[in-house]
Structure 1
């Protein structure tokens, strides 16, 4: 009804304007019955009497036979239709639509997965879908303060565009009064936590992880997308131990041949051309893959972390990565190529990897790769702690603020490992 009233009101105002113009053209001969007819129409669509008096006051000197106006009945105005929306909501549309409160009330928090300056990732139970999901929560105020609105919207836009077996797919995104929400499927473990527990990986496992990541990065680059934050923490593991690349918060559309200049990413994984402020392109992702594979193979990073990008660039420039002689010759060659300081010398197309000695006999096919169970990953996941009792909020969006600042004692104990 609200939308209908809005449309009727606009038609009435257009008609009234035309009537006034017609009266002027005909020498101002506007009769009393016309006055009562238009007054009745305006009051029927909720126009206030003051608006009518103003309208007729402007034309009053033209009326030859004005009859007394009867008091208009009091109309209780209905809420405006959804458009135009308040600016603080409109800023985040259409990537973050508004969801009804009842939809958010179906979410119950099970745990805090990660927390950082970017926001917080929660493990939630969706009672409506009867499943467990991961929800990234970002403060709308912080997005505005840090001027990352475009980045947040592009993150969702990219994730809606891509569909790949080794990519963490987007489930939903929406906005509340205070936060932005990005929901994805939940994976119980990431590659970094596994690496911290296991240490060096067997070369057979490294080759499988590497092949899956090569397929993902080639897929993204073919779509004109650069990830810019390939690292172990952003690689989740599913129930069979296969990877899911996640967190597209620093990703952007970068067509083939185009260049970027923004210094962003995680210091130990950033290519030298990124650390220097560019220009750089998709080849930066292959350097990050080289750092990741080096760490999986040796149990340490090729270059230690520094305090900022300037010091990190100096370390990367001065240091030649020493690859242990104990590594497979094919793996050693791959690491040398990926960690080349000249981005043009790095392999970057799928056929470069398909013919590489390290991947001899490897089928670069997602379905075939997924048929190979990663038993050591499955065994490690079996030792995961039991979930906490879920926490329910009346208003998931607003009550979340106090929860994130003052988490429950049970969650503090869990994160501390006590």
Structure 2
């Protein structure tokens, strides 16, 4: 499978969760919020109206790129969060503002060897353009002679992967988590962005149980109805159409959402290894269906919702077609959940967690390497 992102195991090195609270959480009474794109305050209804122009705004941000630059010396290294094939993720603090960030440092030499000079620029442009309260924000991007740097919002409580690795989430918490992810995906779809690696590891947990979609290392900008053929991603979340010769579109993210929610609810993948082999063929076995636990009623909203997302035909998948995300949000699975309150962060997941503790930096880590600024701006397209 393609990798694409510099660090694939970020979430595996993050927070250890203690337990999930069952008490309801409210975070204020107003549904009016400040949008990340710096525009005037928008409420949920304005958000829905703005989805119609999200793709135009994304193109504008891509074209008139204004991502702030910085230098490594502007940040203090607070420790290592993760190491991967392509680089390191550090927890850092901006020396002037004192604000904490996650800094992804990608090694140019390894990217050259892997012939992967293009994808970092696409990742950086898409994440900068994807300005939404349910998307991890990119704050700075810069490079020197040896590395590429992405400075992003820091998720102090890690990712969703650790939570589901311990035990299934309570149903109410899963529904609230899913609602936040749906709002993030709704924005990405409206913006013409296919994530291509949606999974618990790439859902990050912020203060007050706010969830955001992150890691755009495999993301792609796609026109409405466009199909692509590149086979990449994380195998257990990949939709069947990715293995066909017909191509695939943004509906693959809805399949991945179905797998993600299934794992949160039932602590297992909806398909066995053998079933996944049957699905990952040019002509998948149409008889394969999700394996629900025996105590899940056949007429339950959970089963109907997940079967809709895990529909083999991408054109019939829940969330695709005329109603798009309205069909998702109005499904009985979300009965009793106000998406307006989810959007305003009045309703979030409830967690009692320990903040992430990065690996203590060595003396070498504390002293940032000094690389010069002499580099070819054309070598890594779109990054500058």
1:214 Cα shift?
A: 1.2
1:175 Cα shift?
A: 0.4
1:19-47 deviation per Cα after TM superposition (whole angstroms, max 9, x unaligned): xxxxxxxxxxxxxxxxxxxxxxxxxxxxx
Unaligned runs of 5+ in 2: 1-63, 373-384
Q: In the aligned structure 2, how far is the partner of 1:323 from the partner of 1:168?
A: 32
CA contact (8 A) 2:177 2:349 kept: no
1:331 Cα shift?
A: 1.2
Corresponding residue to 2:360 among 373, 388, 401: 388
1:257 maps to 2:197: no
Please name the residue that 2:280 is paired with: 313
Q: Which moved more, 1:358-367 or 1:337-346?
A: 358-367
Distance 1:183 1:228, change over 3 A: same
Distance 1:191 1:127, change over 3 A: same
1:324 maps to 2:299: no
CA contact (8 A) 2:177 2:348 kept: no
Higher helix fraction: Structure 1 or Structure 2? 1
Please name the residue that 2:165 is paired with: 196
CA contact (8 A) 2:180 2:211 kept: yes
Corresponding residue to 2:349 among 353, 374, 397: 374
Q: In the aligned structure 2, how far is the partner of 1:170 from the partner of 1:366?
A: 25
Corresponding residue to 2:326 among 346, 351, 364: 351
Greater length-normalized contact order (CA 8 Å, ≥ 6 residues apart): 2
Q: Which moved more, 1:221-230 or 1:295-304?
A: 295-304
Q: In the aligned structure 2, how far is the partner of 1:325 from the partner of 1:274?
A: 30
Q: CA RMSD in A?
A: 2.9
Q: Which is higher, the Rg of structure 1 or of structure 2?
A: 1
1:192 Cα shift?
A: 0.4
1:211-269 deviation per Cα after TM superposition (whole angstroms, max 9, x unaligned): 11111111111111100000011010001112110001100110111101000110000
Please name the residue that 2:60 is paired with: none
CA contact (8 A) 1:105 1:393 kept: no
Say how many residue pairs are matched.
297
Corresponding residue to 1:364 among 324, 328, 339: 339
Distance 1:304 1:325, change over 3 A: closer
Q: Which moved more, 1:365-374 or 1:106-115?
A: 365-374
1:119 maps to 2:91: no
Distance 1:387 1:263, change over 3 A: closer
CA contact (8 A) 1:107 1:396 kept: no
Unaligned runs of 5+ in 1: 1-93, 399-418
1:286-314 deviation per Cα after TM superposition (whole angstroms, max 9, x unaligned): 000000001001111123569xx978715
What's the secondary structure of 2:145's corresponding residue? coil
Q: In the aligned structure 2, how far is the partner of 1:97 from the partner of 1:244?
A: 20
CA contact (8 A) 2:163 2:169 kept: no
Please name the residue that 2:52 is paired with: none
1:387 Cα shift?
A: 6.7
